[in-house]
Structure 1
Amino acid sequence: MKEKIKVFLDSDLLEKYLLGTATKQEEFQCERYIAMYPEVRETFDELQENLEEFAKMHALKSPEGLKEKIIARIRAENSGRKKFFKYAIAASFAALMFAGASYFFWDQNQNLQEQNTIVTNEIKDLKENMKQQLEDVRNQFIVLNNPQTRKLNVKGNQKAKDLKAVAYINPVKKLSYINVSKLPNLPESQVFQMWAEVNGEMVNLGVISEASDKEKLVALPYAENAVGYITIEPQGGNETPTVENIVANIKY
């Protein structure tokens, strides 16, 4: 019986149940195990608390100015309708002004359509960004709470003795993240940059900013026998890593 419970806890069914991605059959199994076995209930409560903390830490904010743009769009549309009605009445009494008024209305309509397209695209981009961020938060939650995740402590070499980071590798879910918790001071002309060698191809993961947010996880491309690097590069970053300036290796 204990082996049965262990197999259940080693799976990701509880995470899926909490995140609403489980099937009906999986939901029924989770609810039955939570009700029957205290250790499962205890694990479920702990995961639930962790998820609540994650939600608070990664609360998404709407882009600045979006509310004002939407309000401006509504006002512009209402204003456009009023102007159209006003000039339409005038046009019925002044046939000579019809051509000019028609062009004016057409131009107003074009402007409204352009504004509508801009706001619609911004809302679409916002939804896509939120979707990606929520997916990333979900993956982070799974990696940090799944018992099959390996935790690797990463330290810098002689060129960056104070560098400290932790990599989280989950071979089952094929997810990898790294948290750079401490960076040594560099001259203003230099920066730290992260790389990953995946299937023989070097992937640029970008410049590492000052480690002010110790809760931030950076996604690493996952592959069998992949290797990550941290290098010192000129300000602004480099297109290819400077091999002699490698200060840390991450094998995962």
Structure 2
Amino acid sequence: MKEKIQKFLDTDILEKYLLGDSTKEETLKAERYIAMYPQVRDDYNELQNNLETFAKMYARKTPEGLKQIILQSAKKERIVKRKLFRYVIAASIAIMIFAGSSVFFWNQNKALQEENTLVSNKMKNLEEVMKTQLEDVRNQFIVLNNPDTKKYTLRGKKEAKDLKAVAYINPVKKLSYINVSNLPELPENKCFQMWAEVNGELVNLGVIKEWDDKNKLLPLPYAENAIGYITIEPEGGNSSPTVKNIVANISY
């Protein structure tokens, strides 16, 4: 079981799930593992907290601050590489002095190379996440503070009369966000899912989590005359919306 969990954690499914870039299969797998295994749930919460911390940091700092953070990350990577170089030199000297120890040092070197590769990949992923988070924070600031932004209040209907949400649409900057401030309880086998009809194509925006921050803004794809929907779907979400279960909609 531990090998199964570790194998899952070694993938980038959690990072992709957190950013909303996971496939339907990856999303279902991530949600299942988060619900079933405390270790996965702890890693997910820690990653989420770290990303939120980075986003808040960038919301306060100037681009020079971002440059400094990236430089510090690069510096840490160089330190790891220097450490690897020292181990390689030490292994070479030991091989010349103690030929019988060659296998030991080879294994040590290989393990360190694998560790360095893992660290490098994690740092690259983290930098991409930070850039994405910074861009999202910048866009949210524009939408909330730009006088051209239009505000639409949504209220649920049918089984979701208590659902409340506010959509923010900026036609000048072509940015759209929605904040779901109240999410009614549903049976365990049901969930809320968000959709957008953009230029004649239906876009799946994913399941709205009950544990989402009520102050969080969720991005909407922008297009003229676009339509957004919130539907009630089976647990885990659906590949297409159940029209009869539309509980909120907005035209923007």
Say yes or no: TM over 0.5: yes
Q: Over residues 14-67 of structure 1, what are the superposed CA-to-partner deviations in whole Å (9 max), with x where a residue is unaligned?
A: xxxxxxxxxxxxxxxxxxxxxxxxxxxxxxxxxxxxxxxxx98942599xxx9x
TM-score, normalised via structure 1 length: 0.65
AA of the residue aligned to 1:86:
A
Query: Which residue matches 1:219?
Result: 219
2:156 and 2:163 in contact (8 A); partners too: yes
CA RMSD between the two structures = 3.1
**Which is higher, the Rg of structure 1 or of structure 2?**
1
Query: Within 2, Cα distance between the matches of 1:205 and 1:222?
Result: 12
Query: Within 2, Cα distance between the matches of 1:174 and 1:142?
Result: 11
2:54 and 2:133 in contact (8 A); partners too: no
Out of 167-176 and 77-86, give the one that drifted further: 77-86
SS at match of 2:98: helix
TM-score, normalised via structure 2 length: 0.65
Alignment of 1:127-166 (within 5 A): 127-166=127-166
Query: Within 1, Cα distance between the matches of 2:223 and 2:183?
Result: 26
**Uncovered stretches (5+) of structure 1, i.e. residues with no partner:** 1-54, 92-96
Aligned-residue offset at 1:118: 1.2
- Classify 1:214/1:141 alpha carbon distance in 2 versus 1 (closer, same or farther; 3 Å): same
Query: Which residue matches 1:59?
Result: 56
Query: Which residue matches 1:185?
Result: 185
Q: Over residues 74-93 of structure 1, what are the superposed CA-to-partner deviations in whole Å (9 max), with x where a residue is unaligned?
A: 797355554443233123xx
Query: Which residue matches 2:244?
Result: 244
Query: Within 1, Cα distance between the matches of 2:54 and 2:88?
Result: 43
Q: Over residues 202-225 of structure 1, what are the superposed CA-to-partner deviations in whole Å (9 max), with x where a residue is unaligned?
A: 111111012652210000000010
Aligned-residue offset at 1:249: 0.4
SS at match of 1:186: coil
AA of the residue aligned to 2:149:
T
- Classify 1:58/1:132 alpha carbon distance in 2 versus 1 (closer, same or farther; 3 Å): closer
Q: Over residues 229-249 of structure 1, what are the superposed CA-to-partner deviations in whole Å (9 max), with x where a residue is unaligned?
A: 000011111111111111000
- Classify 1:174/1:113 alpha carbon distance in 2 versus 1 (closer, same or farther; 3 Å): same
Query: Within 1, Cα distance between the matches of 2:250 and 2:205?
Result: 13
- Classify 1:134/1:170 alpha carbon distance in 2 versus 1 (closer, same or farther; 3 Å): same
1:73 and 1:115 in contact (8 A); partners too: no
SS at match of 1:128: helix
Aligned-residue offset at 1:115: 1.8
Aligned-residue offset at 1:136: 0.2
Aligned-residue offset at 1:172: 0.5
Query: Which residue matches 1:87?
Result: 95
Query: Within 1, Cα distance between the matches of 2:169 and 2:162?
Result: 23
- Classify 1:130/1:56 alpha carbon distance in 2 versus 1 (closer, same or farther; 3 Å): closer
- Classify 1:212/1:105 alpha carbon distance in 2 versus 1 (closer, same or farther; 3 Å): closer
Structure 2 residue 173 is the aligned partner of structure 1 residue 176: no
- Classify 1:79/1:57 alpha carbon distance in 2 versus 1 (closer, same or farther; 3 Å): closer
AA of the residue aligned to 1:248:
A
1:183 and 1:211 in contact (8 A); partners too: no
Q: Over residues 135-166 of structure 1, what are the superposed CA-to-partner deviations in whole Å (9 max), with x where a residue is unaligned?
A: 00000000000000000001111221100000
Aligned-residue offset at 1:176: 0.1
Query: Within 2, Cα distance between the matches of 1:209 and 1:188?
Result: 12
AA of the residue aligned to 1:89:
I
